[in-house]
Each structure stands twice: as C-alpha cells, then as structure tokens.
Chain A
Amino acid sequence: MIVKFRPTRRAALMGLSALALPGGIANAAPRRGGTLNFMQNNEPQTLVALTTVATPALTVSAKVTEGLLAYDYDIKPRPQLATEWSISPDGKTYTFKLRPNVKWHDGKDFTSADVAYSIELLKTIHPRGRNTFANVTGVKTPDPLTAVLELSKPAPYLIKALAAAESPMMPRHVYEGSDPLANQNGNAPIGTGPYKFKEWVRGSHILYERNPDYWAKPLPNLDRIVFKFLPDPGARSIAFENGTADIGYRTPVALSDLDRLKKIPTLVFETDGTSYSYNVANLQFNLDSPIFKNEKVRQAIAHAIDRAAIVKTVLFGYGVVSASPIAPGLKEFHDPAPSPYSLDLKKAEQLLDEAGYPRGANKMRFKVPLDYNPIGDENRRLAEFMRAALARIGITIEIRAADASAFVKRIYTDRDFEITLNGHSNLFDPTVGVQRLYWSKNFKKGVPFSNASHYDNPKVDALLEGAAVEIDPVKRVAMFKEFQEIVGRELPDINLYSPLYLTIKNKRVHDDSMTADGVESNMAECYVDG
C-alpha cells in the first residue's frame, strides 16, 4: 500500500524516511523528468473516451482529457477541473465552480461553455452517458467559470460519474459543428491535461509529452509517457522482468505467473486504484429456457457451486467471493451475507430429482451448452471448472467457444443460450453498473451487457427505480440491501466472485495510483526514479 503525502508536507516528513515501509513512502521530493513505459494489453481504437468505454481507451484518454472531479479511494470527490461543487437539497441542481486560468493544449481558454457542450455530448453519444446524464435537462453557464446542471429528477450517482476517463471534458471549439464520431480529435487529442499528445504509430505505440503549461505547475513530473501494446501475457511478463515495461494494470500477466513475479525484487504489486470499477463474475440463466425456468434447477446448481474453490483454482486466490451482484469493494452497498444456497451436493441432487430430471442410464440427467464471454482469460478456465462441478450433480456441459462478436450475437441478439458465464463492472455506483442486469426495462435484444436472463420482477424494478432517484443515503442503501436479498433468493443468475486486480510496476515508479481509478486517472503526480 502506497502512503500518500501532499507535496507541501513531504519535505517536513523526510526525517521519517528511516521508517520506510515496503512499497515505499514518498519520502523524497519527486524527481522531475524521465519516461514512463506504460504497457497495455490492447491498442485503443481512439484516444478520447467519448464514444467508447473500452478499457484500453480509458488510460490514454484521461492523461490528455480531464474531468471535472477526481476521487479518492472511497470514491469521495476531489477537485480537478472543478474546484468547488454543491448539490441542492432536492438533488436537482448541481453547481460547479471551475478552475481559473486553465488552457487547452492549443492555447484557448477552458470555460463553462466547454463543460456545457461536453455534458450535452456525453448525454447523446457516450455509451454510459446516455443513462448517467439522462435526467439532465440543461446546463446553464452564468459566467465562464460556473456551470449549473439542472435535472428533472435526482441522480444520486451523478456526482461520482465525473472522473476524467468516465466523463471527459471536450474542447468545444474542436468539436462544435462536426460529427463527433468522425472527429479526428480522437486520433490526436487536445485536452487540458498534464500530458500532450505527440504521436500514435498504429500497432506499435502512443507517445505523450509533458504539458509545460499545465494548470498544476510544476506538475507533471514525467517528461513523457510511452504506451505500448502487448496482447500476449507471456510477453508482458517478460517485459516486466527485463524492465522494458514500467507499469501495467488489471493484472496484466497470467495469474499463474504472479507467484514467480512476486519474487523479483524490482517489481512492486499495487492493490490501490481499483475502486472505481469493481467487476463481478456471474453465471447467467436464460429464464426463457424450459429447463432453467424451473427455480429448483437453478437452486440445485447454486448448491453445487463452491465459490471459494473457484477463487482458489481459477483465480489463483486473487479474488473475493461474492454471492451478491454488488461487489464487496462497494462496502456501503454490498450485502456480505452468504448465499442462502450453501454448498450441498446432496440437496442439489434432490432438487434436480424433484424438478423432474432424474439420472438417466448413463448417469447423467441432461446436457446443456455453456457459453462464456471470451474477453479476458479467466472465463475459459472458469467454464472448464463449471463443467467439472456440474458433472458431479449429473449435468453434462458442452462448452461453446465463440469470439466476442459471435458471443454478443448469440447471447443478446439471438438469445440462443441456456447458461452463460459473464462478467460485468459495477462501475462507481450500483445504479450505473448493476441495475442494467436486473431491470425488466433493460431487456433489450441486441444490446450487450443488458438484462440477458430476461428477469422480470416488479418488486425489484420498484426498488431499483427508487434507488436511482433516492437522495437519502440511508434509504438508498436499504433499497439495495433488499434488492440483493431478493435476487439472491430468486436466482436469475448466480454471482460468483469479484476479481482482485493488481497493478504491477517497476519499483522506480511512484505515485501512480493516487485515486479511485488508479492509473486510469491523469497521473499528474506520477514520477520515476533516475
């Protein structure tokens, strides 16, 4: 765990450097200069997270294009482009005071007009912005440094949605009058951020350089950041070992390799900076299927799943079990109570018999295909684990592989599946990340990561809709707790675990993960040793 200090106090605390903890205290003044080699798994398609929220785009976007706020590890807001903010008691008016003397990389001033334009843009074309800003009726700009958002209904999650990678502030003068989807700013962005775009050689690398006129001078510390893309986990391990990569996140290497890498003295493993988007993996049922319509079958499968074993074998221990769709990391909302269906194979067999699926001549009850989301490496192993687990209670699984596009088409467009292994991010608030899976109005054919199971429970709908506009935090938490109890009992899906993501870095790198979104932030404070 990195212990952070503000620059002003660092000098005074240098005397305490003798008590250096592992992981390193920022006990010396940050060094100015140097290059950070940032390694990503895949190349982004665009450098501004306006039209996409794909992971590779988030890191590159936030360093150039900033947001109104930043967040500490508990997702409590801190100033970035906005210095002060207030929400009216009825939750329908948000007032932001903007930071003065901020300039875009081309020299023009950053004003509230940019904020108003950006929020409009996010509302129309950002994949999540459509829903996040759905209640926003307009943005007033009484003066160049004040922006006022007016909402038709409260949106308690909105204040958490303003991070750089989530709701980037775009330069109006570059986008106005053009087609935002085709605007070449996405390939060579202008922003207010600590780093300026220098070059993008497709298939090879992206180069960012220090912005000498950054509003938080003398930051940034780094001279430049080089982004490289290594789609191969083995190559990434090698890159960390031989020092060609300085930092990578979301556990960029094969889990099986972690133990070996941890023994290497030049590498540091960081767990902070992953609280903005916890993932939860789940097994989703197609509730329109004749087999899985039957709740006894679903309960039987729930009795046959050993979450602890999954975390141990599939994730090599790098995960936390979660019977709830809300990740354990979202501490205030997560219900830590275990699933009402404990690991009990006998009960599972009994339920299946009762459901009318006795063991046949070949010892098996029925055979179903299992589709898994091919994005990420764990799901394939998880599928193989499931096959073994369900075979024990007499269900034969036939694993079906598909690439991302075919998977999306099969699950969401054609709905040609029985069970699927999937994963979703909770994002920064359950209304944004979790509601979409259980809300009956989000059953949309052809839209990925929507309500795939076709779950339809009016009580749950009411709870979710209520929580979406509830400004009393206590009442909101209670609504989510009740929601978790109901879905935990009715089992439209079975939630399994929340992976523990690690940021791996060379020990020469410091102050990279100072916020909830870690390296997906603007990383202005990051510095490297000589």
Chain B
Amino acid sequence: MRMYRRVGASLRRTALHAGPTILGIVVLNFLLLQLVPGDAADVLASESGTATAEGMAAIRARFGLDQPVLTQLLTYLNHLAHFDLGFSPRYNMSVLDMILSRLPATLLLMLTALSIALILGILMGAVMAAWVGRWPDRVLSVVVLLFYSMPGFWVGLMAIVLFSVHLGWLPSDGDMTVGASLHGFALIGDRLKYLVLPALALASFFIAVYARLTRAAMLEVQRQEFMRTAQAKGLHPIVVQLRHALRNALIPVTTVAGMHLGNLLGGAVVVETLFGWPGMGRLALEAVLARDFSVLMGVLLLSSFLVIIANMLIDLLHAWLDPRIGAT
C-alpha cells in the first residue's frame, strides 16, 4: 500500500514539475533556433541548384516562415497544445509521423547500447572491486580508462576497419538488409548483425563510466557498518557481495544511467551518422542543417520527455533498491 502511495506521489510531483519545464524548453529552443542564419526555404532552394524569388516566397508563405518571431512562437505553442507537432517542409510529412518512423530505430540502438554498457560495466566494476589492488583490478582499470578516453565514433571506425573491411563479418551501414523479406529468426539475426557495431561504438564510453562507478561504489559500501555485520553473520562472501554491496552500488549507477538516457540521444548523433543508422540523432542533425526547425523542436521535446520519464523511473527504482529512501 505504501509503495503505491509513494509511486502516486512521485508521479504527481513529476507531472507538476514537468509542465513548466517543457514550456521553458520549447520557448528557449525556439528562440535559440531563430538565431541560426538562413531558413528552410534557403536550404530547399540551394539543394535544387535552381531557385526563383517567387518560388522561395511561396515556400516561406506556406510554412509561415515570413511571419514575425513572436507570431511563429505562439502558433507553435498553440499547435502543441493540440498535440500537433507541425509539418516538415523538408520531408513533406507531419513531424509526428517523421519522428515516429525513426523512433524505433533509435530506441533499439539506445537501449541496446545502454544495456550492454550496464551489464558489462557493472560486471567489470564488480570484478575490480572484488579483486581490488590485485592484477585483475589493475588490468581492467587500464582497459576501462582506455574506453573512457577513446572517442566513441573512433572506436566505431576502427571496429568497421576490423570487422567490416578486413574480416567482412559485419555490415557497416544501415539497420537491415533491404528488399529481402525475412521472417522469424532470420529477421532477428539480420537485424542483430547491423546492430552490433553501432551499439558497441555507442556503449564503449559508458561501459567505462559504469565500471568505474560500480567499483567506487562497491568499495565505499564495503567499508560500511552493515557489511561487517553481514560478514560477521557468516554469510558466504559472494552472497554478501551480490545482495548487499552490489545492490547498494546500483543506486549511483542507475542515477547516472538515467541521466545518460536523455543524453544518449545527442551522443548517438555521431554514431548514427557514421553507421548510417536511421535514428533520431541523425534526424536532428539533418534538421539543423536543413533548418527544419519543426522537426528539430519535435526531437528536442521528445528527448526532454525521455529525460523526465527516466528520472521518474530512477526515483521509483531507488525506492525499491533502498527502502531507507522515503517519499520525500
């Protein structure tokens, strides 16, 4: 019963807090984008290789680009209140459809990368903490530090050189084999093939982060009173580690992972561009270059939602992991 009340209170707090935050995000980003030189009409014209003044004026009138900034902002907010994200001049479809078409690919990549990072990171961190000071710890610390320092996209590039160019095992572009209608396991296998390299490239940095955090948190926890109590109780060392040390170490790790969830969208931009992954990071970048601000605002809004939801989930997770954390 208490759990439900805690959840309810948490949700209410989030909702109250989220409203003004989202409004602030919309206004801030909208005004920021107005500072960028050029507009969608310029880009459409320049890509055509030909343009006429009337044509550009027509495009601008059609998308309201020739109106004063405040009018455009109010129009956008008005549409937003009706859950309408607008229409994209570049893709000639509604922004919502555009985003929804790219969302699955992004979620797949992000969640896979995050899962790999969490699993490998926590595992490595736990091993390092368990053998602290001895050679497994030292070796893994170097490995982790290297992952922490290498740019993710460079890891991706080197992975392409090895696995795609020289060994030919894995593809280096796209998210599936086009035109081949596969089903069942063949389909899953095909998708996995394309997912491996981008997910690893994206995950490499975060593996290191979580490994370091886990190690530090577990070492911290090991020094605390209740651990000695557990050991004194005669519990098996591994049980002690897993049930107590690891469980408490998960709190800072999940907090940070949650923070990363929102930012993973931005970090995915480079990796998605490198691997031609049809995700929202690449969409956002294309939108900036094409001055397609409706799409960009849509992506930014979505990522804010993600962050808010992630924070909420973390709060709930913490409440479950550490009963000492109350509803305040």
Contacts and interface: CB of A to CB of B under 8 A. Distances in A.
Q: Are A and B direct contacts in the complex by CB distance below 8 Å?
A: yes
Contact of A204 (B39, B43, B178): B178
Nearest to A433: B50
A45 B90 contact: yes
Given A187-B93, A202-B101, A448-B45, 9 more contacts: A37-B179, A45-B92, A128-B50, A131-B52, A203-B101, A404-B43, A405-B36, A405-B39, A405-B46
B318 interface: no
B55 interface: yes
Contacts of B174: 204, 228, 230
Contacts of A45: 44, 90-92
Nearest to B175: A204
B189 interface: no
Looking at B50, B175, B273, B283, which has the most chain A CB atoms within 10 Å of its CB? B50
A409 B56 CA distance: 13
Contacts of A405: 36-39, 42-43, 46, 289-291
A409 B37 contact: yes
B37 A410 contact: yes
Contact of A449 (B38, B51, B171): B51
Given A127-B50, A375-B46, A449-B51, A408 B38 contact: yes
Contacts of A125: 55, 58
A187 B51 CA distance: 22
A274 interface: no
Contacts of A409: 37-38, 42
B165 interface: yes
15 contacts: A52-B44, A55-B49, A127-B52, A127-B55, A202-B101, A203-B101, A229-B276, A238-B172, A239-B173, A375-B47, A403-B289, A406-B37, A409-B42, A447-B45, A448-B46
Looking at A127, A130, A203, A238, which has the most chain B CB atoms within 10 Å of its CB? A203
Interface of B: 36-39, 42-56, 58-59, 62, 90-93, 98, 101-102, 105, 164-165, 168, 171-176, 178-179, 273-274, 276, 278-279, 282-283, 289-291
Size class of A's contact patch?
35 or more
A130 B53 CA distance: 11
A403 to B, nearest CB: 5
Contact of B53 (A55, A403, A436, A446): A446
Contact of A54 (B48, B175, B279): B48
B158 to A, nearest CB: 13
Nearest to B157: A234
Nearest to A407: B46
A450 B54 CA distance: 13
B258 to A, nearest CB: 27
Contacts of A407: 46
Nearest to A373: B46
A204 B104 CA distance: 13
Given A127-B52, A207-B179, A408-B42, A202 B278 contact: yes
- The list of the 7 closest CB pairs from A to B, nearest first, reads A203-B278, A405-B38, A409-B38, A205-B178, A408-B42, A54-B47, A235-B173
A221 interface: no
Contacts of B38: 405-406, 408-409
A291 B36 CA distance: 29
Contacts of A410: 37
Looking at A405, A424, A447, which has the most chain B CB atoms within 10 Å of its CB? A405
Interface in A394-423: 403-410, 413
A226 B274 CA distance: 22
Interface string A45-75: 1100000111100000000000000000000
A239 B173 CA distance: 9
Given A404-B289, A408-B42, A224 B179 contact: yes
Nearest to B272: A203
A307 B179 CA distance: 45
Given A45-B90, A405-B290, A205 B47 contact: no
A132 to B, nearest CB: 10
Given A52-B44, A130-B55, A403-B289, A203 B92 contact: no
Given A204-B278, A406-B37, A52 B178 contact: no
Interface in A455-511: none
Contacts of A178: none
A131 B56 CA distance: 15
A55 B173 CA distance: 22
A448 B59 CA distance: 14
A35 B179 contact: yes
A226 B55 contact: no
Interface in A152-211: 181-182, 186-187, 201-205, 207
Contacts of A130: 52, 54-55
A356 interface: no
B273 A231 contact: yes
Contacts of B105: 203
Nearest to A450: B51
Contacts of B37: 405-406, 409-410
A239 B53 CA distance: 40
B201 to A, nearest CB: 14
Given A45-B92, A181-B58, A203-B102, A404 B178 contact: no
B47 A202 contact: no
B46 A408 contact: yes
A229 B287 CA distance: 17
Nearest to B57: A446
B278 to A, nearest CB: 3
B50 A53 contact: yes
Contact of B48 (A52, A204, A406): A52
B48 A53 contact: yes
B165 A238 contact: yes
A362 interface: no
Contacts of B172: 235, 238
A216 B289 CA distance: 42
B153 to A, nearest CB: 12
A260 to B, nearest CB: 13
B178 A226 contact: yes
Contacts of A377: none
A88 interface: no
